[in-house]
Homo-oligomer: A and B are copies of this chain.
Amino acid sequence: MCGVPPSRRQPSQQRSRDTVAAIVDAAVRVLTEQGYDQASTNRIAAAAGVSPGTLYGYFADKDDIVAAVIERVVDGFGEGIAPSLRAAAALPEDEATRMVLDAVLTEIETRAPLIEAFVDRVPAERYAPQLDQLRLRVSDITFQLLAARRPGVALADLERATWFATRTIEYLTVRYVVAAPPIPREAFLDELTSMVLGLSPATSAS
């Protein structure tokens, strides 16, 4: 009568919903502090103030918990940059680009500890599917924004520019935050903006 069973039980009472939230919170904490290897299910359960059995009442296995953590991060990120994406279409290209990049960087900065923990303490295959889904969504939006400004440019060129733009932004922002190079935030955003603008296939400017 309902969709696929999410994992095990469906939390129906308020009590159990709190429990699930406590587990995910604890998972974030343990993953951030100890990394993937050390984040045993028993440890997460203990950090949540819950028994291992309870944990497995709501999650199929360890990776299901990690997936829930990622989902929360991805959703938050998406919501965080949505406003700037909506505003982008109405602005000149350089201003729009700079604004979106600022939003992206901000969202990564606000999740720095967790993102850092994932980037260098969790094998990427554990979260690759969800990350690829996010990449796909971002690429779609980027492609649309790009195509709207460049009528008549070949599809392949737009796709190439989209790939370069999204990957460059993804990696450089994450790296800027976790590696903290001695570059002022404004200078970083300026350079990144000019990189992204520079790789667009040529057409008459907006």
Please give, as numbers and ranges, the residues of chain B lying within 8 Å of A199 by CB-CB distance: 191, 194-195, 198
Please give, as numbers and ranges, the residues of chain B lying within 8 Å of A182 by CB-CB distance: 156, 159
Chain B residue with the shortest CB-CB distance to A157: B187
Q: Does A137 contact B (CB under 8 A)?
A: no
Q: Does A77 contact B (CB under 8 A)?
A: no
Please give, as numbers and ranges, the residues of chain B lying within 8 Å of A195 by CB-CB distance: 164, 168, 195, 198-199
B175 and A160 contact, CB distance less than 8 A? no
Give the residues from 136 to 150 in chain A that come closer than 8 angstroms, CB to CB, to chain B.
Answer: none
Chain B nearest CB, measured from A72 CB (Å): 21
Please give, as numbers and ranges, the residues of chain B lying within 8 Å of A194 by CB-CB distance: 198-199
Contact of A125 among B120, B181, B191 (CB under 8 A): B120
Please give, as numbers and ranges, the residues of chain B lying within 8 Å of A125 by CB-CB distance: 35, 120-121
**Cα separation A156 to B36 with both chains bound (whole Å):** 37
**Cα separation A60 to B172 with both chains bound (whole Å):** 35
Please give, as numbers and ranges, the residues of chain B lying within 8 Å of A187 by CB-CB distance: 160
Chain B residue with the shortest CB-CB distance to A174: B171
Q: Does A119 contact B (CB under 8 A)?
A: yes
Chain B residue with the shortest CB-CB distance to A124: B120
**Cα separation A48 to B160 with both chains bound (whole Å):** 43
**Cα separation A125 to B37 with both chains bound (whole Å):** 11
Contact of A124 among B119, B159, B167, B171 (CB under 8 A): B119
Q: List 12 A-B contacts (CB under 8 A).
A: A35-B123, A36-B123, A37-B123, A120-B128, A159-B183, A160-B191, A164-B191, A164-B195, A167-B172, A171-B175, A195-B199, A198-B198
Given contacts A160-B191, A171-B171, could you give 17 more A-B pairs where the C-beta distance is less than 8 Å? A35-B123, A35-B125, A37-B123, A119-B124, A120-B123, A120-B125, A121-B124, A159-B182, A159-B183, A160-B187, A163-B183, A164-B191, A167-B175, A168-B172, A194-B198, A195-B195, A195-B198
